[in-house]
Chains A and B, each alone.
Chain A
Amino acid sequence: MQEFKSLKDIPEQDYFTGGSSTCAGCGPSLGLKLALKVLGPETIIINSAGCMTLLPLYPNTPLKASWIHNAIENAASTAAGARHGLDMLGDKDMNVVVYAGDGATYDIGFASLSAAAAKNERIIYICYNNQSYGNTGFQWSTATPYGSETKTTPRGKENPTGTTVVNKDMLKIMGAHRVYAATASLAYPVDFLNKLGRAKERDGFSYIELLGACTAGWNYDPRLTIKISKLAVRCGMWPLYEIEHGMLNLNKDFSELKPVDEFLNMQGRYRALPPNGVERLQGLINEHWAELKEYNGQRYV
């Protein structure tokens, strides 16, 4: 497929139209809307229980593509079954695409994801990462960043930090499955959709993780979804990179990262994170960024 050069190249045709019940400014909804521009209507979206599960609500749907919602922990296995089913029926052209949250991906559905990736199933797996269990009201998952407050990691006298666990390095884990793995951002749609386009052409498993800014959980003004998404990339919270055949490719390089403060200050979930917490988080970001710079263009996993 032809690579998009700029926003102007992205098709105007939408397969995700009005009438969805997700929040104003919802990052994951926008992500799916963009993705369907590349995937088209001949796509089965396999959804795991989460915010996006509420897109179709019987008897309505905002989607002009097919949709299967099974449970929370089994989207990758459901997708594998759909893919092989279609293949055995002689239908090789239908896209099978998982659209699952980070809780379903990093945590409860990890076994099913890992197996599907190890078997290199011809599936595109998009994780919309809102860094929490979003649909149940913003609870901690292993994708939640250090220092973020969630409903199950509230700040208090005993624990002023909120989330003390450092989130999993999921890209590295998926890269180690010898599949295509990439991060993506709503603020860089050309990069996102080109990655998706390449994944569509691949004869195997692709893992794309999209930072899904969550206005309700992160607690920011819904107008700022794209701005926050951009800042996440600029401050190194959400670097854009891809791993293919174990090789690292940093897609957006910066001579200097912005300090994390501006990103944190825009969101209620980091309000009252003590200075030593901010310092620790900045340290983790710097460490990760240095690692990416060091291995850029080289074997990473």
Chain B
Amino acid sequence: MKQTLVTGNEAAAWGARLVRAKYIPNFPITPQTECIETLARWSADGELPGTYFDRMESEHSVMSAAVGAAAVGTRVFTATSSQGLLLMHEVLYIAAGMRLPIVMANISRGLSAPVTLWSDHNDFLDQRDSGWLMFHAENNQEVLDMVLQAYRITEDPRVLLPAMVNMDGYVLSFTDEPINIPSPGQVEEFLPGYDPAHTIAHGRPITVGPPVLDEYSIFKAQNHVASRNALAVIEEVQDDFERIFGRRYHLVDGFMLEDAELVLVTQGSMSTTAKAAILEMRDEGIKVGLLRLRVIRPWPNEAVAGALKDAKAIAVIDRNVAPGKGGIMFPEIIETLYNLDRRPLVSGFVVGLGGKPQTESKVKEITHKLMDDLAAGRPRMEWNDLEET
């Protein structure tokens, strides 16, 4: 298959182009900017027929305009990062509550203050409870594939929730990787035009986003059910996806888990580094594997528990921090395993904040610490990011 060198930002832009998004409200922020610049160039060159590229005055207005356009039945794409995602925060809940299938790429970057341009996952995970579907890509091929799949999943009548596709800033956003860019015909076969059942049309006025009284919890429960429905839909779309594009994804990404006694739980681009380290450690006879979380919301508890239940010890590697608590995914993993008959030991490591590189030697160090924890029978929660500063 023909491969093309593109950055993560360009891969997301290709996704928006191939799904024929009709409306792209946007606002620049590092490291997302190249994504919208790519779309702006295509729009100026007439390569996005049927798409309106709308420059807004803030990310808050980007998400507000996305809501307006999606409410009238338009397929919408946008992208942001970091502070921009936080500025959207209010409207993210509204988009989910209105059940609007907007797809947005987030190119993750640490949050101020102090200012950093480099990646960690706090921006994205801060939106965890917004009602959006939340996906996290490992590489640029997965960025493009996730955007394509996100539209199929969000537009499914059982789901109708917005979806966020996360990629790590710089590591993916500005790195060229060879990927397969499918043909427009292939994508059209996978994802037909958007034909919503519920939208504003002539002769059929509707009300979107009114106040409610006692019914509030019913709407929130529907949001929850729709998100849980997405678990099955994510798996269902893989058959079509594999038939057309030759690739297949799962709710979680397992690596050398079959006989693994030790398992590292990771997210995003650091997973590739960790996999390389695991191959070397396997040569040394260490039975270590990896579980990459790629679907964060809805939370695939059965898939996560199934992948981890036979491990002796688990290291949850969080590229984020909830100050006063620890890594954000650490307790989610513990909670997922709590009701198993035999619970593995689970240690937590906070790493790589503000783009601090996650090297193979760091991954090995964490693995050896996990072995120590297992031998001592005592898990740890450690900030593994502070030396050499």
Please list the residues of chain A having a beta carbon within 8 angstroms of any beta carbon in chain B: 41-42, 44, 46, 53-54, 56-58, 61, 63-71, 73-74, 76-89, 91, 93-94, 111-112, 114-115
Q: Which listed residue, B25, B50, B60, B72, touches A73 by the CB 8 Å rule?
A: B60
B377 contacts the other chain (CB 8 A) = no
Which residue on chain A has the smallest CB distance to residue B194? A89
Which of chain A's residues have a CB closer than 8 A to the CB of B66?
A: 81
Which 9 interchain pairs have the tightest Cβ spacing?
A81-B68, A81-B65, A85-B69, A74-B64, A85-B74, A77-B61, A115-B57, A82-B68, A77-B64
In the bound complex, residues from chain B placing their C-beta under 8 Å from that of A93 are: 202
Cross-chain contact B58 with A67 (CB below 8 angstroms): no
Residue total for B at the interface (Cβ-Cβ under 8 A): 40
Q: Are A81 and B23 in contact (CB under 8 A)?
A: yes
Which of A61, A68, A85 interacts with B73 by CB under 8 Å? Answer: A85
Is B22 at the interface (CB under 8 A from chain A)?
A: yes
Bound: A75/B22 CA distance, A: 21
- Judge whether B285 is part of the interface by a CB distance below 8 angstroms: no
Is B283 an interface residue, CB under 8 A from the partner?
no
A115 / chain B contacts, CB cutoff of 8 Å: 56-57, 61
Q: Are A74 and B61 in contact (CB under 8 A)?
A: yes
**B67 pairs with A70, CB closer than 8 A:** yes
Q: A70-B64, A71-B91, A111-B57 are in contact. Are A58 and B72 (CB under 8 A)?
A: no
Give the shortest distance, in Å, between A228 (CB) and chain B (any CB). 28
**A272 → B minimal CB distance (Å):** 35
Give the contacting residue for A58; candidates B22, B61, B210; CB below 8 A: B210
Query: What B residues does A73 contact at CB under 8 A?
Result: 60
Residues of A with C-beta under 8 A to B25: 77, 80-81
**B208 with A114: CB separation less than 8 A:** no
* Residue interface mask B25-62, A partner, CB < 8 A = 1: 10000000000000000000000001110101110111
B215 within 8 A of A: yes
Q: Which residues of A contact B65 (CB under 8 A)?
A: 77-78, 80-81, 84
Q: What are 12 sample pairs from A and B whose C-beta atoms fall under 8 A apart?
A: A56-B207, A57-B213, A58-B210, A71-B90, A74-B61, A74-B91, A77-B25, A77-B62, A82-B71, A85-B22, A94-B200, A115-B57
Cβ of B213: which chain A residues have Cβ within 8 Å of it? Answer: 57-58
Minimum CB–CB distance for A270 against chain B, Å? 32
Are A112 and B57 in contact (CB-based, < 8 A)? yes
Tell me what chain A mostly uses at the interface: helix, strand, loop, or mixed.
mixed
Which residue of the partner chain, among B61, B69, B73, B208, contacts A67 with CB atoms under 8 Å? B208
Q: Does B206 touch A at the CB level, under 8 Å? A: yes
A64 touches B205 (CB 8 A): yes
Contact with A along B9-28 (1 / 0, CB 8 A): 00000000000001101000
Which of B62, B65, B212 has the most chain A CB within a 10 Å cutoff? B65
B residues in contact with A94, CB < 8 Å: 72, 200, 202
Q: Which of A65, A71, A88 contacts B22 (CB 8 A)?
A: A88
Give chain A residues whose Cβ lies under 8 Å from the Cβ of B61: 74, 76-77, 80, 111-112, 115
A58-B212, A67-B205, A81-B54 given; name 8 further pairs at CB < 8 Å. Answer: A41-B205, A65-B205, A66-B206, A67-B210, A69-B211, A89-B73, A112-B58, A112-B64
Chain A min CB distance to B171 (Å): 32
Q: Which of A71, A81, A115 has the most CB of B within 10 A?
A: A81
Q: If the complex has contacts A57-B213, A71-B94, are A66 and B67 also in contact, measured as CB distance less than 8 A?
A: no
> Is there an interface contact between B211 and A78, defined as CB atoms closer than 8 Å?
no
Partner of A81, one of B57, B64, B90, B210: B64
**Contacts of B50 on A, CB cut-off 8 Å?**
88
Whether the Cβ atoms of B207 and A70 lie closer than 8 Å is no
Question: Which residue of A53, A65, A85 has the most chain B CB atoms within 10 A of its CB atom?
Answer: A85
Shortest beta-carbon distance from B62 to chain A in Å: 8
Residues of A within 8 A of B185 (CB): none
**Given A57-B211, A70-B91, A111-B58, also A84-B69 (CB < 8 A):** yes
Chain A hits for B70, CB < 8 A: 81, 85
